[in-house]
Amino acid sequence: MAAMASTDDSPIYEGFLCPMCLQNFDSVYQLQSHVESAHGSEDKVVFRRLKGFFGKARHLITNRSEEHFEDVSKDEAGEGSPKKQPLLGTDPFTWENPELGASRSHFESLRRIRSDRMDRTVVEINKLVIRLEKLIKHGPPMNDQAKRKVYEKTIVPWAEDSDVRFCPSCGDKFSLAVRRHHCRLCGSIMCNKCSSYVGIPFCDQVLEAESKGSTSSKQVHAESSPSKKGDVVTLRVCEHCVHIMEKRLKMVRERNSKPVIVQLYQKMIEVREQILRQLPIYEKTAVSILNGEEEYSYERAERERTVLLKYFDALDLLSKKIYSLGSGTDKTLSSAQMKLRRNIRTEVIRFLQDHMLGLDPLPSEKEVIQLRAERKAAIARRLEEERQARARRVQAEALALEKSAQQRAQQQQQAEAKLLDSPQRGHERKSSWGLLNKLKEQAQEVGAGMMVGLTSSGSEGKLSQSPSGWKPSAVSQDTVQALSDDPLIQQMNIISSYLNQAQEAGRWDEVNMLEANLKDLQLAYRQEQQAGR
């Protein structure tokens, strides 16, 4: 494990070097998959120690967030620590349910039964409304009593006086004192006590509600409407019909009314959605700027931040408004109303705590300049290191090639076989680069395979010296690189311009996609440059 020792000592080897073949990688994950594929067949102990190294590395490298890092299992971190006997079963707290439990819907059968009944009610209501319309809007003038009566009788057949001897609702016997009266809407008979009058305004409202599905804001109740005959034109109706009409009116009205709280709430939800859309965009910008990258301008970050803060303010204000709604007026709110308001406010406070207080602060402009300078220096340093490491690796490879030609042939076969077996892990690649990368990987793997047991690298050697199978791949790398250099950069430029357009248009999904693309391209480009060097 001398190679590993040297990585620990020497500050130059800060990148992701394979401790076995000193090859450099761009990310921990790549290194890990390389080790697994190229050195997987080696001694288990070495492998485990290597994983221990990964565990250490995880603590050292904090700047790079690599999701795949989690794959390194926990109990293998920590070099040389005695392996704890793992529990073979599972912790119930980690159990998951793949899907929702069983369920059964009864809605269809409910709807069937309901619509059967509703059809009847609807017919009844519709009939009433049609008659009402005819009575009010058409027919002889209201003051011509005699003609009116005839007309009213044509709309609904009146019950025969002789058939009804008692008032159906109060049971009083009809006589000279207790006169029979007919409901103008359904034609049934009742006594004076049991009948009521509906005024024209009320009827208008009912008709309006039925035709438009909306009502005017002023409310007139049948009870409060004038019931003195002669004052205003009214209709004598039975209680049953009044009830039906009132209920209907109430329903329509309630369905269409929108209390202030609902309007405010809707606005609040809109603002919240805006925030949730805006937040990840700003966070990305802020992180990028904090890292000293120059992808986004400082002004843009500032602008995004101000927008967000404005939204937060609006959200806070709206929720406060909801909370204090109606408390100024004299009628006291019920406890349920209070609870509703309080809970909405509580939720907004939690939302603000979660999202506003956790908002990444922006550095000042001076700091940004400093950060950018630091990053440039760091990149330059890394490139230099990579170059050195690469030089060493080339040396080592050459040495290996010279030393064991036979072993190499064997290893090559093995590696090729492995390559065929193992699907590509993790890395995303553009299809046009697939072949190139494959070849490169092959070369790396074979080279790595031969590094086993080698501890020193001294003699100079050239890759081109290697016979047969090797040369073509190396040559093809060079040629492809030379040819593709321009198109790659072009492609990157094109995507960058798309990106700008998309950002201006505010199409964030596309921005994300394009950014991912750009990153891929940059990665490929960097790899190319390294390969060419």
Partner 1 sequence: MNVVLAVKQYVAKMIEESGPGMKVLLMDKETISFVTMVYAQSEILQKEVYLFERLDSANREVMKHLRCICYIRPKRENIEMLCNELRNPKYAVYFIYFSNVVSKSDVKLLAEADEQEVVREVQEFYGDYIAICPHVFSFNITGTARGMRWDPPVLNRVCAGLTSVLLSLKKCPMIRYQNSSEMAKRLAETVRQVISKDAGLFDFKRTDVAPVLLILDRRGDAVTPLLNQWTYEAMVHELLGIRNKRIDLSEVPGVTKDLQEVVLSAEQDEFYANNLYNNYGEICTRIKELMEEFQKKSQSQKKIESIADMKAFVENYPQFKKMSGTVAKHVTVVQELSRQVRAYNLLEVSEVEQELACQSDHNEALKRIRTLLGSDKVRDLDACRLVALYGLRYERHQNNNTVGLMEMLRRRGVGDKHRMLVKSIIQYGGEKSRGTDLFGQDNPMSRTRRFFKGLKDVENIYTQHRPLIYETLDQLFKGKLKEGAYPYLGSSQLRDRPQDVVAFMIGGVTYEECLAIYNLNRATPGIRVILGGTTVHNFESFLEEVSSTGIESPY
Residues near partner 1 (CB under 8 A)? 87-93, 95-97, 99-107, 109-114, 117-118, 121, 251, 254-255, 257-259, 261-262, 265, 269, 334, 336-337, 339-340, 343-344, 346-347, 350-351, 353-354, 357-358, 361
Report the alpha-carbon distance of residue 29 to residue 34 in Å, rounded.
Answer: 8
Q: Which two tokens stand for residue 187?
A: 């034609």
Counting Cβ atoms within 10 Å, is residue 113 exposed (0-12), middle (13-18) or buried (19+)?
exposed
Q: Tell me how far, at minimum, the Cβ of 350 lies from partner 1, in Å.
A: 6
Q: Tell me how far, at minimum, the Cβ of 25 lies from partner 1, in Å.
A: 35
Work out the number of other CB atoms within 10 angstroms of the CB of residue 34: 22
Q: Closer CB to partner 1, residue 67 or residue 99?
A: 99
Q: Tell me how far, at minimum, the Cβ of 321 lies from partner 1, in Å.
A: 15
Q: Tell me how far, at minimum, the Cβ of 308 lies from partner 1, in Å.
A: 16
Q: Closer CB to partner 1, residue 193 or residue 339?
A: 339
Q: Closer CB to partner 1, residue 268 or residue 396?
A: 268
Report the alpha-carbon distance of residue 410 to residue 95 in Å, rounded.
Answer: 46
Q: Closer CB to partner 1, residue 334 or residue 456?
A: 334
Q: Tell me how far, at minimum, the Cβ of 307 lies from partner 1, in Å.
A: 21
Q: Which two tokens stand for residue 263?
A: 């309007």
| Residue (of 53, 47, 64, 51) closest to 378 by Cα position | 64
Report the alpha-carbon distance of residue 412 to residue 400 in Å, rounded.
Answer: 13
Q: Tell me how far, at minimum, the Cβ of 248 lies from partner 1, in Å.
A: 10
Answer whether 197's CB lies under 8 Å from 229's CB. yes
Q: Closer CB to partner 1, residue 255 or residue 425?
A: 255
Q: Closer CB to partner 1, residue 74 or residue 258?
A: 258
Find the farthest-apart pair of alpha carbons in the chain and give their distance in angstroms, rounded. 134
Q: Closer CB to partner 1, residue 56 or residue 120?
A: 120
Q: Which residue bears the tokens 């998959």?
A: 33
Q: Tell me how far, at minimum, the Cβ of 382 lies from partner 1, in Å.
A: 30
Q: What is the DSSP string of 193-210?
A: TTEEEEEHHHHHHHHHHH
Q: Closer CB to partner 1, residue 107 or residue 509?
A: 107
Report the alpha-carbon distance of residue 178 to residue 195 in Å, rounded.
Answer: 12
Q: Tell me how far, at minimum, the Cβ of 287 lies from partner 1, in Å.
A: 16
* Residue 229, amino acid: K
Q: What is the 3-state secondary structure (H, E, C) of 256-290?
A: HCCCHHHHHHHHHHHHHHHHHHHHHHHHHHHHHHH
Q: Closer CB to partner 1, residue 56 or residue 243?
A: 243
Q: Tell me how far, at minimum, the Cβ of 50 lies from partner 1, in Å.
A: 27
Answer whether 531's CB lies under 8 Å from 440's CB. yes
Counting Cβ atoms within 10 Å, is residue 265 exposed (0-12), middle (13-18) or buried (19+)?
middle
Q: Which residue bears the tokens 């999202």?
A: 355
Q: Which residues contact 521 (CB under 8 A, 6 or more apart)?
A: 430, 488, 491, 492, 495
* Residue 144, amino acid: D
